[in-house]
Amino acid sequence: MPQPVDARTLGLVVAGGAVGVLARAAIVAPVIHTPAEVWVTFAVNVAGSLMLGVVVGFLGDRSASLRAFLGTGALGGFTTYSAFAVASAQLLTTPWIGLALMAASLVAGVIAALMGLFIGRRLVDAPGEVERAEDAE
């Protein structure tokens, strides 16, 4: 049976999402409808992947509230699959560039996330280890 949604967690995700969307808009709005829009979208998504990796690596299983606000909310709002999909589709008039952008976005995003996990784990001085939630409290 599905678990009910916790109103506090939902509120944290919504608040974080608003912060992330505003940050993304501040970065992307100046270049909308220009050739740079595609590359700024790429950069935002890769940077967001790196930051999400840091958050997950640093927090591990600790602080579900902070993970909901920062990870799901703020960084979920900052990065977006739909912007990536639209930017890639717009480039499909030149198929090789569109396909290259899609491949580069996926590869760079995964590499950035891995780097972020490494950095986040180093920040808590536990490379490869995640502290159990019971031990964190």
Question: Does residue 1 form part of some domain?
Answer: no
Question: Does residue 38 form part of some domain?
Answer: yes
pLDDT of amino acid 68? 94
**Which is it for the CA torsion 81, 83, 87, 89, positive or negative?**
positive
Q: How many domains does the chain have?
A: 1
* Res. 117: pLDDT tops 70: yes
Question: Does residue 2 form part of some domain?
Answer: no
Question: Does residue 91 form part of some domain?
Answer: yes
- The pLDDT tens digits of the residues spanning 52-111 come to 999 999 998 888 899 999 999 999 999 988 877 887 787 777 888 888 888 998 999 999
Question: Does residue 99 form part of some domain?
Answer: yes
Question: Does residue 41 form part of some domain?
Answer: yes
* Res. 2: pLDDT tops 80: no
d(CA 110, CA 128): 17
Question: Does residue 121 form part of some domain?
Answer: yes
Residues 6+ apart with CB under 8 A from 24: 44, 77, 78, 79, 80
**Binding site for Na(+): what residues are annotated?**
76, 79
Range of the domain at 86: 7-136
Question: Does residue 46 form part of some domain?
Answer: yes
